Structure formats: C-alpha cells, structure tokens
Chains A and B, each alone.
Chain A
Amino acid sequence: MAAIEVRLPVARKLAGQSQARGSDKHLVAPGDTITTDTGYMRGHGTYMGDEKLIASVAGAVERVNKLICVKALKTRYNGEVGDIVVGRITEVQQKRWKVETNARLDSVLLLSSMNLPGGELRRRSAEDELAMRDYLQEGDLISAEVQAVFSDGAVSLHTRSLKYGKLGQGVLVQVSPSLVKRQKTHFHDLPCGASVILGNNGFIWIYPTPEQKDEEAGGFVTNLEPVPLHDREVISRLRNCILALVAQKLMLYDTSIVYCYEASLPHQIKDILKPEVMQEIVLETRQRLLELEG
C-alpha cells in the first residue's frame, strides 16, 4: 500500500559548530582576504588584488612555509598518482579508452595499461586493437589506478592488477571528491555484508561481496545473476547512509560508513533520506567518531 507523505517545509536550523575542530581550519569564501602580508607566494585558489591576497574559491586555507593555497570544498577531481578511481567508459578510440571520472578532462586508459583476460603478458597486437570493444564498451564502469598525470591535467589510468577491472552489479553514488578521505586502501569489505570501493574522484561503488574470490578472470567476467533481496537491502541502506553523510558534509571512510549504517538500523531504509532522520543518524555517527578519536 502506497504511503505518500506530504509535509510543510521547516526552516533548517544551523547545525552546532563541532567542538575545537573549527578553530584549526581557516575557512574562506570567494572574495575574502586571506592575508595582507605580501611575503607569501600565491598558490591555487588565490589571486592578488589591492596588495592583498584574496581567495577565489570557497574552502580551507592551507599554508606550506611561504606558499598559501585554498583547497576548495566542491571541485572537480584533480588526479594524483596512485589514486583509485571509479570511472565510466565514454569513448573507444584507436589504442585507448576515454573514461569519465568527474575531472575537468576525460581520463585516458591505454590499451597497453589494461590487463588481458587470463593475466597474460604480451605485446598488444592489431587483433587486440580490433577486439577492444569486446573488453570494454561505452557505458561500462571500471575501477582503476592513476598511473600518470599529463601536463594539461588529464589523468592516465591503468588496471594492471587483478583487483581492478570492469565492475559488475552494484550501485554508484556520486559525491564531491573532497569528501573522500585518503587512506591506505580504498577497497573495503564491510561487516554488514556488502563491499564498497571509495574512489578518490568521488564515485563510490557499492556491490555485494562475492563469495569466492575469482582470481583467474581478472575482472572481465561480470556476474549478471539476480542479487538476492537481503543483499539489495544492505546495499540500499548503505547508499542512503552515504547520501546522509554527504548531506551533512562528513568525510567518507570505512569507519564512518559502518557507524552510520549501524546508527540507521532502527529506521526503515526509505526513511533515512528524510531531513530529521538524516540529522539524527549523522549526529550519532559524529559522536561515535569523536569517542573513537579520544
């Protein structure tokens, strides 16, 4: 039976300032003066005007010795070598694929950086080039690692490990890249029964944990069997939890996602996206994270 909830809007209350953390960061908006001292070098996100250093983006000021830059809160993904990204194939070109990764330019996945099925190592021939579309087509999702960054900012990817490759069934959540915390590993198997890939470019992939670790396939065989209802419920709940964390601007990493999942268990999955339930869950998560820190 359908339940349609219609309600009157409620004015949002400003969330209380988190204790002590706010004093560490110097937050600026575009047009704010950072400093009037002219001895500093200007980095990204700043410009010089009227003998003052003014911010051009909204974010936190970072200072390294004499270099001042502003790290924006909502930006496109800027590639760094070694990042894990989740991307979607947009084009199949002669010896490479173009991958969309929420960056300013499409990322590039060269044919030579791609694992061949079976894990063989050989020189890519003309037949491989003609068979490119059999490996990856337009619209496929892949997980890859950043190999290099070109001078224009475009990112070159590689999938030269068995843990990268084409992604099968799951749910993609798109968030701002600055909310994904940099960690040692971005592939997590959560205790609730699903696995998650936290791409540094803001694309988060939630999928059911595969029972056997199928290593020989190398990431090309996609399992298209219907996912059982229990797994789908876990994945939907995780997706809503991640959206709740993003709405309240909390950093995303495995601990915060797990705590948020546990805090959301008393509620129904579709209720998590209601504003008041969202605030309650994220408040509880924030408290547990603070307790964890010390």
Chain B
Amino acid sequence: EDLRVDGRGCEDYRCIEVETDVVSNTSGSARVKLGHTDILVGVKAEMGTPKLENPNEGYLEFFVDCSANATPEFEGRGGEELGTEIVNTLYRIFSTENTIDVKSLCINPREHCWILYVDVLLLECGGNLFDAISIAVKAALFNTRIPKVRVLEDEEGSKEIELSDDPYDCIRLNVDNVPCIITLSKIGCRHVVDATLQEEACSLASLLLAVTNRGFLTCMKKMGNGSLDPESIFEMMETGKRVGKTLHTSLQKILDKEESLGTTRQKVGFLG
C-alpha cells in the first residue's frame, strides 16, 4: 500500500542536501546529507604518467575511508571490508566508456596526464550508503576545476609544461554521463528505494543499479544473503531506471542553481 514507517512511499527518497566546494585545498569537493547519512568527497588532480594500456587517457583513482565516527562497527579496521567493496563498485561503474571524458585528461600522450584522486569519507552511516556516495562523487566531479596547462617544446625536443598564471583558468569535467547508484532493497514482497538502517536490517537482498541520466542501466550488482526472483529483478530494474532519471534531473538542477549563485552563495560548511 505504499506506506513506509516514516510515511514515505516505496519510491521516495529522504531529503537530500548537497553542497559543493566545502574543502578549500582540493580541486573539487562535495558534501551530501541524505537523512542521517553524511558523505564528504574530495577530488585532487595530480599529474602523472598514463597507464600503459591507455597511453592517451588520464584516469581516476578511488579511495574510501570509513571514519570511526560513522558507526561503532568501523572502529579500528572494521570499516575496511565495506571500504573495499565501495571502491570496487566505483571502479566498475567508472570503467565503462564515456562516463568521464578521460581523453581530455591527457596532456602528453604516453608521458603526462591528469590523474584524479577521488577520496570518499563516510562521516555518518544512516542507511543507503551507495546512493549517497554516488551523488557526492558526481557533485564533486562537477565541482572539480583542473588548471589549464600548455606544453612547450624546446629545440632539443624536451617538453616543458607551463601552468597558466590565472588561477581561475581551468577546465571543467562534463558529468552528464556519470551514473548514479540506485539501491533497491527487497523487504517482504515489495522493494523500496533509499532504505534507512532499520529497513536495511529487515531486507534480505538488495540490488544495486548504476543508472545514467537518460535512464540507461550501466551496471548491476546484487548484495545480501537472500535470493531474488527473476521477475522481481525485472520490476526492480524498471523502478530503478525511473527513479534514476528523476534523481539525475533533480541533482543537475541543484548543481546548476548552486553554480549560478556563484560568490553570493552563503557557504554553510560544517558549522552551519
């Protein structure tokens, strides 16, 4: 009957708060609050050598830190397993072509390229981590400003890289094709989007879908100990695609609105 414990429907998200540019010494950052889940993502752009198999492209490196503040289970090394799982999921999503234009990250083929180090920090764990992390990563990549560099060639052939003097002269990434993760948890015979901690404890199996802004599914992963009926998987996929499209439009609207506010935006940060 479409009524959950907190009054939401099966396809409703909790209120999401997004803020970008919260960490000043990164190339891009974003903080996302989804109910009680709090995620901070920082992106740093560094120069390095391209990978051997893709000499004309830059690449992304992910790292997830489950802070001990999030839940007591993350104390010591408890959060490492969850962290590696999240990192592997992120790598898988971003390994599909065209999510990020990695060719634009290349400076000199085979010699220099931009490497984007994406660091995810879990500040508070309130259910539905993967969705919040994917929203935060998308927002942080949208906020990333990579300085423009020029390659100067000497007579001997050695190349010099010159950074432009203007600190505001930078290239931005196109995040239109970056997918968002939608987690669908199966509780009883219905499935719900955006499960809270209590709902996650009741669900035996959940499906992780990576959905792009046009509603295409790029990646799918099943989590949990329970089993899923093939028909219910089909229904969940349809729900995920629908919800994903809505999420992308809302997120993009807010990111554009934040961008348009520019310097007049009142920064809330962590002490607001």
Contact = CB atoms under 8 A, between A and B. Distances in A.
A12 B272 CA distance: 6
A238 B174 CA distance: 45
Interface string B1-19: 1011111110111111111
Nearest to A237: B7
A5 B18 CA distance: 11
A269 B1 CA distance: 15
A11 B253 CA distance: 21
B233 interface: no
A232 B3 contact: yes
Contacts of A240: 6-7
A6 B243 CA distance: 13
A236 B268 contact: no
A64 interface: no
A274 B15 contact: yes
Interface string A5-36: 11111111000000000000000000000000
A272 B14 CA distance: 11
Contact of B12 (A3, A6, A239): A3
A7 B272 contact: no
Nearest to B266: A11
Interface in B1-52: 1, 3-9, 11-19, 33
Nearest to A171: B5
A268 B11 CA distance: 16
Contacts of B4: 236
Contacts of A233: 3, 7
Interface string B166-193: 0000000000000000000000000001
Contact of B6 (A11, A229, A236): A236
B247 interface: yes
Contact of A270 (B8, B247, B251, B265): B8
Interface residues of A, number: 26
Contacts of B77: none
A9 B251 contact: no
Nearest to B2: A229
Interface in A216-248: 229, 232-233, 236-237, 239-240
A30 B246 CA distance: 47
A232 B2 CA distance: 11
B221 interface: no
Interface in A166-210: 171
Interface string B209-244: 000000000000000000000000000000000110
Contact of A7 (B6, B15, B247, B265): B15
A9 B7 contact: no
B254 A6 contact: yes
Nearest to A7: B17
Given A236-B3, A240-B6, A240-B7, A9 B19 contact: yes
B101 interface: no
Contact of A6 (B5, B18, B265): B18
Given A10-B268, A11-B266, A11-B268, A5 B3 contact: no
A270 B12 contact: yes
Contacts of B16: 4-7
Interface string A255-277: 00000000000001110111000
Given A171-B5, A236-B5, A9 B17 contact: yes
Contacts of A11: 266, 268, 272
Contacts of B3: 229, 232-233, 236, 269
B92 to A, nearest CB: 24
B250 interface: yes
Interface string B69-104: 000000000000000000000000000000000000
A187 B149 CA distance: 71
A11 B243 CA distance: 29
Nearest to A5: B15
Contacts of A236: 3-7
Contacts of A237: 7
Contacts of A270: 6-9, 12
A2 B193 contact: yes
Nearest to A272: B7
B247 A4 contact: yes
Contact of A4 (B19, B246, B258, B266): B246
Given A2-B12, A269-B7, A270-B9, 12 more contacts: A2-B9, A2-B242, A6-B251, A6-B254, A7-B254, A8-B257, A9-B272, A11-B272, A171-B5, A233-B3, A239-B6, A270-B8
12 contacts: A2-B242, A3-B246, A4-B12, A4-B13, A4-B246, A6-B247, A7-B18, A8-B254, A11-B268, A171-B5, A237-B7, A269-B7
Interface of A: 1-12, 171, 229, 232-233, 236-237, 239-240, 268-270, 272-274
- Which 5 pairs show the lowest CB-CB distances between chains A and B? A269-B7, A11-B272, A2-B11, A270-B7, A236-B7
